[in-house]
Structures are given as structure tokens and as C-alpha cells.
Amino acid sequence: MSTERRLPRSIVVEFCGLPGAGKTSLSSAVEQEWDGLVSRPTRRIAPDVLAGRRLSRKLGLVAAEATRRPLLEARVAHRIARSGQPGAGEAAKRWVQWASTQSLMGRARRAPGVHVFDEGVLQALWSLALRGDPSATLRVLRDSTGRWSAPDLVIVLDPPVDLLVRRLRDRSSEHSRLQRLADDVGLRAELVRGRSLLERLVAWWEETSRIEGSVARIVGERHDAAAAIVAIDAAIHRIGAEPSAFSSEGRGTSVGRS
């Protein structure tokens, strides 16, 4: 790869939002726009990966994370188990989602470049909060700030609820538990509740991270890759990377390892 332009460290970006908000579409669009400059680590465990392979990869990531941070992950797993999830199986899924994401984000932290996550920290916590109480888990994470992998920038996608309902009904595959709701009225009510939960988690993240400019928002119906790119460029400036590394002049140039 060319070493003409480098980032002194990794830049981790998380797209978060309700099911159907366009997280995967937008992260893919950014990856294509900056072809060769951006990685999407969650591609390895995306819903379109064969179920057996996806589960095998997740379990490998979980094992690596539990080995790397055994005490912290044990505390998080304990809090998730006591969060009121509807059954031990659901609690286990929530921890697997958290730990596998942490493993991928930790690897991204060690590789220079921009890494975009369409399933990240806030998304894992949102899944936990949707059917349980995340308060104890959030306290553990707040008290352990700096000991777990976190994004440099969170981009919140917030399209209208009615659009989310249409998108979820149009999906050919079931990626979200909300799709199991039979009537649109119930689905709309759950999405409104889910939006409120997400806003509380974003507020928690802003307070926990204490980093100015750590959250950006894209409101409306369009998957606006340009708006996401502006927000990521701002994060690069804030962190102190080379300002032009991901500008229009720099496209087509790969990021070299330092």
C-alpha cells in the first residue's frame, strides 16, 4: 500500500440507530466512497454471513475478548445476566453481541485507518436495554472508562418512524426482533420506545466520553454519505490526524501502516 498519507492512529466510527435506520447501507456507502481507506470490521459477522460461520466467528471473538480482559468481561457478563432479560439464552446473546463487538473494536484500535461499525457499543447496549434494565451494566462501563474499546465518533441515524416501519416490513429477511410484531401499530409504538432508549444511551455516552464533538446526527430519510464523511473528517481533525488524509484530494490513496 502507498505510504504517502498516514494516520497516526486508528479512527473508530460507530453508526447507531433503530432497526431500518440505514446503518449498514450508510457504512457501506462510506466504505465505497473512500475505497481502500476505510474498513468495515462488522462485515465478518453481518446477518448475511451463513449462520454457522457467523456463530463460529462470534464465539472466537468472544473467547479472545474474555482472554484479553477477563475481569472486566466477567463483571459485564454478570450485570447483563441480572439485567432482567427474558431468559438465560437472551442474556447470553446480549453478552455475545457486546463481547464480539468489543473484540472487533479492539482489533481496529490496533490498526491505523478509519474503521466503521454498523453494530457497535451503543447498538449492543440498546439491544440490552430493549428487553431489560441496562443501569448496572452502564455503571460498570462508566467506572471502567478507558479499559474497554470505544468509538471516537458516534453517528446517530434518525429517520422518521413511519419510514422505519415501511423498511422493516419490506425486508426479505428478519434481522430485528421488532419485525416479529404482527401489527404496524405495535411496531410503531416499539420504535418510539426504542428511540427514547437510544436517546438516553447517547446522552450517557456523551457524559461518559467527555469528548466534545463525539456525537453527530443525520436526521431525515436520505442515507447521506456526504454528511457522514463531513462528520468523520471533523473527527480526524479533532484527533489530530493529517487533515487531508480523507479529503477529496486524498481519495484513491491507501493508508499505510506506521
Within-domain flag for 200? yes
Q: What is the CATH number of the domain that holds 123?
A: 3.40.50.300
Within-domain flag for 195? yes
**What is the value of pTM for the model shown?**
0.85
Within-domain flag for 109? yes
Phi-psi label, residue 6: left if phi above 0, alpha if psi -120 to 50, beta otherwise = beta
Within-domain flag for 253? no
- DSSP one-letter string for 58-116: HHHHHHHHHHHSHHHHHHHHHHHHTS--SSHHHHHHHHHHHHHHHHHHHHHHTS-EEEE
Domains identified in the chain, total number: 1
Cell numbers placing 122: 451503543
Cell numbers placing 196: 427514547
Within-domain flag for 247? no
Print the domain residue range for 195. Answer: 10-242
Within-domain flag for 42? yes
Q: In what order do the strands lie in the sheet with 113-117?
A: 38-39, 113-117, 10-16, 153-158, 215-219
pLDDT of residue 203: 94
- Residue 102 CA to its chain's centroid (Å): 10
Within-domain flag for 251? no
Residues in the chain: 258
Contact (CB, 8 A) for 152 and 235: yes
Within-domain flag for 5? no
Q: What's the average pLDDT block by block, 10 residues per block, for the chain (258 residues)? A: 49 93 90 84 89 93 96 97 96 96 94 92 95 96 92 93 86 63 79 94 91 85 82 83 39 30
